[in-house]
Amino acid sequence: MTKDDMQYEEPEIIYIPDEDGNEEEFEVVMKFEVDGSDQKYMMVVPLNTDSSEEEEDEEADEVYAFRYEEEGDDLKLYTIENEEEWNMVEETFNTLLAEIDETE
């Protein structure tokens, strides 16, 4: 594979307000739909540029999942509060990660 064959995509960044209304940056790791459902999900990781290194290490492995809907340019995020739905999303995410690892 040559350098020209490799495609580098810009990371997709979204902004999610916290409890205090401050917008935090998150990088979208993956978007997917769960089989047998018309629901769309995204996995995001926080982009903390102003926290200490120790905090970054602790948060480096944090991945957040949201159900989302797109209406034109608007993106609506919904937290996953149902344990059954969360388990389904987690299983799909892990399966997709395993498939990516196999192809690399």
pLDDT, residue 60, reads: 57
Domain boundaries, the chain: 11-103
Dihedral pair phi/psi, residue 12, rounded to 5°: -85, 125
pLDDT, residue 28, reads: 94
Please give the DSSP secondary-structure letter assigned to residue 35: T
pLDDT, residue 78, reads: 93
Kindly state the average pLDDT of the residues 73-91: 91
pLDDT reading at 54 higher than 70: no
Per-residue confidence band for 49, with pLDDT thresholds at 50, 70 and 90: low
pLDDT reading at 102 higher than 90: no
pLDDT reading at 3 higher than 60: no
pLDDT, residue 52, reads: 46
Residue 79 pairs in a beta bridge with 66
Pull the structure tokens for residue 61: 């492995």
User: Which helix (H) or strand (E) element contains residue 99?
Assistant: helix 83-103
Residue 32 · residue 92 · CB < 8 Å: yes
